[in-house]
Amino acid sequence: MSYQPIENYGIIGNMRTVALVGMNGSIDWYCYPYFDSPSIFGAILDDNKGGSFQICPVGDQVRHKQFYWVALDRAGETPVFRQLPIYRQR
């Protein structure tokens, strides 16, 4: 697998750790259980030895859409718009 441009990555996190997820569905950077823990997947630094995990569709007929969720903040008063990450096949 070749390196992706950094702008092709999005993040998934839980306020304790974060994963960098590429547009192709690969997790190329992930530290567990905290931000400063050693990385489990590090393909963003070394494509051959770094390791990654990928979930992607098999086939050529892949459709994609972009969605937005409206959620309320903790006080329940202010709407917050959250964009769902969409991975496009190239």
pTM > 0.85: no
Is residue 58 domain-resident?
Answer: yes
Does 20 reside within a domain? yes
Helix (H, G, I), strand (E, B) or coil at 7: helix
Q: How far apart are CA 28 and CA 39, in angstroms?
A: 10
The tally of domains found in the chain comes to 1
User: Is 90 domain-assigned?
Assistant: no
Question: Can you give the pLDDT at residue 57?
Answer: 74
Token digits for 77? Answer: 């008063």
Question: What is the H or E stretch that residue 14 is in?
Answer: none
**Under DSSP, is residue 73 helix (H, G, I), strand (E, B) or coil?**
coil
Look-up: residue for tokens 């393909």?
43
Asked if residue 64 belongs to a domain, the reply is: yes
For residue 18, tell me if it sits in a domain.
yes
- Number of other CB atoms surrounding residue 28 within 10 Å: 26
pLDDT tens readout for residues 49-77: 888 888 777 777 777 665 655 555 555 55
**Residue 1 belongs to some domain of the structure:** no
* Amino acid residing at 16: R
The per-residue pLDDT for 50 is 83
Residue numbers of the domain that contains 60: 6-83
On whether residue 89 sits in a domain, the answer given is no
Omega into 38 within 30° of 0, i.e. cis? Answer: no
Note whether residue 10 is domain-resident: yes
